[in-house]
Each structure stands twice: as C-alpha cells, then as structure tokens.
Amino acid sequence: MLDPLAGEILGPDDIPEIKRGASIVALDCSWKKCDVSFEDVKIKSPKLKPRTLPLLLAANEVSWGKPGRLSTVEALAVCLILINEWEQAKDILQPFKFGGEFLRLNKEPLEAYSHAKSNAELIELQWEFFDKPD
C-alpha cells in the first residue's frame, strides 16, 4: 500500500514479490487528511505493507513543484517505473494534462531510480536530486 508516511520505501527489493502477484494499492485522498485515512486502512487491513516513494516533484495542478506531494496517478506511475514498466506508467499518465509534464520534470531522477539495485541504493540516490533533511 502506498503511504507517504510509511517508514519503508518501495523499490527493487519489492520487485520479486510484485512479480509473484502482490498488488500495489493506492488510496486516493486529500493530503490534508492522509494521516487519518491511511491509519483507517491499516487498522482494517493489517496485512498490507505500507511503502513510500523516493522524492520527486509533483506536476499536478494542486501541488506543482512540491517535492513528494504527488497525486495518486503520479504515485502509481512512479511505482510502475520502479518495477521497469515505463510504458504502462506513460499509459496511465496520458489522460491527465499534467502527465507528460510529470515525466519531463522528473526525467533525471526517474531514470536513476529505475536503475537502482536495492531499496538502500534508491534511498541514497534521491539525495543526489533533492536536499537531504537535517
């Protein structure tokens, strides 16, 4: 389950489980209510493994340019790119007017992230593109 507040990142270490049939679940909710919404889902579905994503810039109208403030479709596209499903990522972004902009805005980090060999490497890669918090 994609959860921006999760302590563990989605990345290459998750690919074998996804290829065996594990699902990626996204909750479409307001950023203002995400802490409550995600807690409700976790309580009702304790087997879900919450995962967050590496930093990227949002291209959607509400959060344009804000690191990590992705729309649900942007987040799902990132998941697909992280598991090397670029064409499917482009397909789900295509109906949205910001879809192409999201890919252009994040071209370099997305390419780097898609080549990471482990979740640990992916975590470190994001700091090549974004300021590491103190």
What residue spans define the domains of the chain? 12-128
Position 134 scores a pLDDT of 75
Position 96 scores a pLDDT of 96
Scored b (16 or more CB within 10 A) or e, 62-94 reads ebeeeebbbbebbbbbbbbbbbebeeebeeebe
pLDDT < 50 stretches in the chain: 43
Cα(33)–Cα(111) distance, integer angstroms: 31
Please write the tens of the pLDDT for every residue from 5-25: 788 899 999 999 988 988 887
Position 21 scores a pLDDT of 87
Q: If 0-12 CB within 10 Å is exposed, 13-18 middle and 19+ buried, where does residue 11 land?
A: buried
pTM here is: 0.85
Position 32 scores a pLDDT of 58
CA quadruple 41, 46, 49, 51: dihedral sign:
positive
